[in-house]
Amino acid sequence: MSNAAFAGIQTQVMWNRLISVVEEQAQSLLRTAFGSVAREAGDLSAGVYDLTGAMLAQAVTGTPGHVNTMANAVAHFLERFPIETLSPGDVLITNDPWMGTGHLFDFVVVTPAFHDGRPVGIFASTCHVIDVGGLGFSADANSVFEEGTLIPHMHLRRSGQLNEDVLSIIIANTRNPVEVRGDLMSLVSANDTGVNRLVDMMCEFDLQSLQPLAEHILQTSRDATQQVIRELPDGIFDYDLPLDGYEAPITIRTRLVIDGDNITIDFTGSSPASNYGINSPRTYSQAYVVFGLKAVVAPHVPNNAGSLDCFKLVSEPGSCVDPLPPSPVTARHVIGQMLPDAVFGCLARALPDRVQAESAGSIWVLAMASAHGRAPVETLAGTTRFNVMNVGIGGVGARPGKDGLSAMAFPSGVGSIPVEITENQCPLWFRRKTILRQSGGSGQWRGGNGQVIEVANREPAPFTVSGATFERMKHPAQGRAGGGAGNPGSAALGSGQTLAGKGVHVIPAGDSLVVELPGGGGFGSSQDRTKARRDFDE
């Protein structure tokens, strides 16, 4: 074997080893997180970066919204804390929505890695914590100042010593102090795991620097992505995606431009920012735009700074996909997680018969709490105070050649939180949680089904649920190539009253919350569906 061939094999082995390093980092976070949305649903991410802040590898565990926002977030840390000013044992933190992952509930924690006294890389991780104060997980705020506590870029640990001052501020402003502190410590521990495994890897391969490997990873990924883009038809492709919005309907106006080996997505003309917390900061919008593009154009190419650089985003500051501070952003995934469908709408015109139908998109975060402060005091005497979170998941759009997946969180990829976990945390209980049959759109390939979930209180007291993320109640997921639309979502009391809008709803004592999650759109004409599959549908 030639030296060049051996070097190539060794480089590939090191690349794969780097991915295993960040996966162990993510698994450390997953297994030590306190909050159920991180521990059970996997609403987190982890990755390793070079000394300029360029993402080299991401963990398989995690969401596109977290992974791809962190691809930009680490550079913001380095602008404030240049790598040469950091020391072994340092840890940095922020939850700034515009420089992190899009809302205050996600803390980004960054840790520099040192080998033989020299900085060699950077690890970052993030997860959703259950509460950061303010109005809680609600879209009712009119500014980010009302949504909770914003921690600017600062040290969480300096030379191995925790910054108890900043921890005290965070803990003093949360309704769930034990879970939030536990999650922050889990992020620190996960990064430390990544640092230790990276140093082990560098010792094993006798590496003094990651830079040659980093350059190979980024250039190879960039070249592979540009190659597949060059195979696409050049042109301009438009698509308008209507959404329910909050105080008014929203239109995501999308223009896809394919020119040689470059792709640009332009959201000029999209609706202005809402007065309520459903806006998607540019960093979060970009995260899901590039995910949608890569899912169709280059799914086989590793996700890193090299491949992501091939996609450009154009947005209007002040729009719902690029709101300016201090716009409210708590429920930013109402818009952000719909952007892959907007991208798919354009791609379907460029690549007929290759792009799936629309999906339910935004997960429905069931942020439920006792009704203290929202119901008469006498109705709550002697009852439990609680603040919990579960997740409702809709259907995925049908794909060319396959039915859509039922109750699957696309594009976020988060999992369900077992009902037993939530029931153990509070007096609520789940009367029903099952697949909502026939809620997917018709077609040669049917859209995935949503869920129906019913929740009640074991105590004789009211409780609340935030409808911040209840979307596609008026604008269901559309089919593709002649396929039918999925069912719209709905929310109601068990006694029958409809719950409209994205506000906070009080569920009276003795009644229940019933939500039906939207179905995915169908693909192709239902006349082409085979009898065997029609029998299965029934």
DSSP for 358-418, written as a single string: P---S-EEEEEEE-TTTS-GGGSTTPPP-EEEEEE--PPPPBTTBPPPSS--TTT---PPP
DSSP string, 427-448: SEEEEEEEEETT-SPPSSBPPP
pLDDT digits 0-9 by tens, 315-330: 999 999 999 999 999 9
Is beta strand 311-314 parallel, antiparallel or unpaired with respect to 262-266?
parallel
Q: What size, in residues, is the chain?
A: 538
Bridge-based pairing of strands 387-392 and 364-370 is: antiparallel
Residue 3's pLDDT is 76
Report the C-alpha gap between 137 and 147 in whole angstroms: 8
pLDDT digits (tens), the chain, 538 positions: 677 777 788 899 999 999 999 999 999 999 999 999 999 999 999 999 999 999 999 998 889 999 999 999 999 999 999 999 999 999 999 999 999 999 999 999 999 999 999 999 999 999 999 999 999 999 999 999 999 999 999 999 999 999 999 999 999 999 999 999 999 999 999 999 999 999 999 999 999 999 999 999 999 999 999 999 999 999 999 999 999 999 999 999 999 999 999 999 999 999 999 999 999 999 999 999 999 999 999 999 999 999 999 999 999 999 999 999 999 999 999 999 999 999 999 999 999 989 999 999 999 999 999 999 999 999 999 999 999 999 999 999 999 999 999 999 999 999 999 999 999 999 999 999 999 999 999 999 999 999 999 999 999 999 999 999 999 999 999 999 999 999 999 999 999 999 988 999 999 999 999 999 999 999 999 998 986 576 667 6
Give 449-504 pLDDT, tens digit per residue.
Answer: 999 999 999 999 999 999 999 999 999 999 999 999 999 999 999 999 999 889 99
CA separation, residue 538 to residues 177, 399, 524 (Å):
49, 20, 19
Q: Report pTM.
A: 0.96
Distances (CA, A) of 38 to 65, 128, 365, 469: 14, 6, 13, 18
Contacts of 519 (CB under 8 A, 6+ apart): 360, 394, 395, 436, 439, 440, 441, 447, 448, 449, 450, 476, 477, 486, 487
Torsion of CA 178, 146, 329, 363, to 10 degrees: 50
Q: Which class for 351: exposed (0-12), middle (13-18), buried (19 or more C-beta within 10 A)?
A: middle
Closest to 364 in 3D by CA, of 343, 342, 337, 401: 337
Cα distance between residue 422 and residue 400, in whole Å? 37
